[in-house]
Amino acid sequence: MVEILKYDIVVLGSGLAGLRAAFQAALTSKDRLRIAVVSKLHAMRSHSVSAEGGISAVLYPKEMNDSIDLHAYDTVKGSDFLADQDAVELLVKLVPEEIRFFDHLGTPWSRRPDGRIAQRPFGGMSVPRAVFAADKTGFFMMSTLYDNLLRFNNVDIYHENMATSILMENGVFRGVAAIDMATGEFRVFLGKAGIIATGGAGRVYSFVTVANSSTGDGVAMAYRAGIPIKDMEFVQFHPTGMVPSGVLITEAARGEGGYLINKEGERFLKRYAPQRMELAPRDIISRAIMTEIKEGRGFVQEESGLEHVLLDLRHLGEEKINERLPMIRELSKKLIGVDPVSEPIPVRPTTHYTMGGVHTDTYGQV
């Protein structure tokens, strides 16, 4: 038997993008619309929870000598001028408002001594503009958003319902077919509008930062339904994946002052990005690390045979590491038995973001 459920909006995915879309639809419709969130995981197990470092936003333009135009320039330059500049312009204009939205919801952003939202430098930034919550930014944003979403009576969240097909009729969205993973029974979610927010496809690679759930389901379903996709050849590699697992060591570790060193004990980025060093864009640092390894200046981990360099945080001191990078210390100690307070962390580039996906306009419409 197939259960048929009728909604106005069906959201595929329960990460930050999916929950944020559902929240906004519920907020603006004032109970007039019924919204279903369909997810193969519990929302608090989505990969958004694992996001660590922060979100770029212009919050203090005069004080930081920053501007929307400078943020846009850094973004376009960091993409080697391949980014859609209309989308970049819209993004950098809206993100400060979004940071304040999450602040008002109760997200515990890290703060300056005067109580204002703190910011730190990330790769490719002309000035520090990464807003963060220690090194658990995604977890705090997700838990805050999820808790607030539960207060809406017109939003139903279907955890552990694996979508299998997007249902289209004459090019018009009609709904989603899914399997209830607890019972094995089929469900059809009929809707007048659909939102695809299913994340990337990083798990097609072996050495990755992403969760086992990042398998590109939404993009594949869209493709099978005749919805155009684009830019799937663009995959971002993060410079610092923990060896041997690939688990992310956040860019915040370098933003707080961490060094990358080769087996000769030198900060080798002086050869590749002498001005920005460890805060160069991710693609530059990833290529630099692989060049060092290929030219014989890397280390080899005996257990895995993986070549790597070292991320050194020792000079930051235990107090700063515990305040700004607590999860990195915890993960490093638990997964590989390395305490970054006293020992460098072995790292190498790891698959991080799937940059392509469903082809939309700047407002996310197909």
Contacts of 356 (CB under 8 A, 6+ apart): 219, 229, 230, 231, 232, 233, 234
Q: Tell me what pLDDT residue 31 has.
A: 84
Tell me which residue of 251, 281, 267 sits closest to 126, measured CA to CA: 281
Output the pLDDT for position 48: 92
> d(Cα 150, Cα 156) in Å, to the nearest integer?
9
Cis amide prior to 244 (ω within 30 degrees): yes
pLDDT value of residue 19: 98
Q: Are strands 130-131 and 55-56 parallel, antiparallel or unpaired?
A: antiparallel
Structure tokens at 234: 């663009």
pTM score, two decimals? Answer: 0.87
Q: Which listed residue (34, 254, 308, 324) is catalytic?
A: 254
Say which amino acid occupies 50: S
164 membership: H or E segment, kind and range: strand 161-169
Could you confirm whether 159 is annotated as catalytic?
A: no
- Give me the pLDDT at residue 252, please: 84
- Separation between Cα atoms, residue 34 and residue 25, nearest integer Å: 9
Domains identified in the chain and CATH numbers = 3-48+144-198 (3.50.50.60), 55-96+108-131 (no CATH), 235-353 (3.90.700.10)
DSSP 341: T
Q: How far apart are alpha carbons 209 and 154 in whole angstroms?
A: 35
109, 101 contact by CB (below 8 A): no
Q: How far apart are CA 95 and CA 84, in angstroms?
A: 17
Cα–Cα distance measured from residue 315 to residue 56, given in angstroms and rounded to the nearest whole number: 26
Pairing relationship of beta strands 193-196 and 9-12 according to DSSP bridges: parallel
Report CA-CA distances (Å) from 61 to 93, 96, 102.
12, 11, 20
Cα separation values, 349 from 84, 145, 162, 356, Å = 26, 31, 31, 20
Q: Which of 47, 238, 308, 352 is catalytic?
A: 238
Phi, psi for residue 11 in degrees, rounded to 5: -105, 125
According to the model, what pLDDT value does residue 123 have? 80
Question: Is-catalytic flag, 174?
Answer: no
pLDDT given at position 124? 83
Identify the pLDDT of residue 251: 85
Tell me how far apart the 2 most distant CA atoms of the chain are, in Å: 66
Give the span between the Cα atoms of 77 and 177, in whole angstroms: 41
Per-residue pLDDT 10s for the chain (366 aa) are 789 999 999 999 999 999 999 999 999 998 899 999 999 999 999 989 988 889 999 999 999 999 999 999 999 998 989 999 999 999 999 999 999 999 999 999 999 999 999 998 888 899 999 999 988 899 999 999 999 999 999 999 999 999 999 999 999 999 999 999 999 999 999 999 999 999 999 888 888 888 888 899 999 999 999 999 999 999 999 999 999 988 889 888 898 899 999 999 999 999 999 988 998 888 899 999 999 999 999 998 888 888 999 999 999 999 999 988 888 999 899 999 999 999 999 999 999 899 999 999 998 998
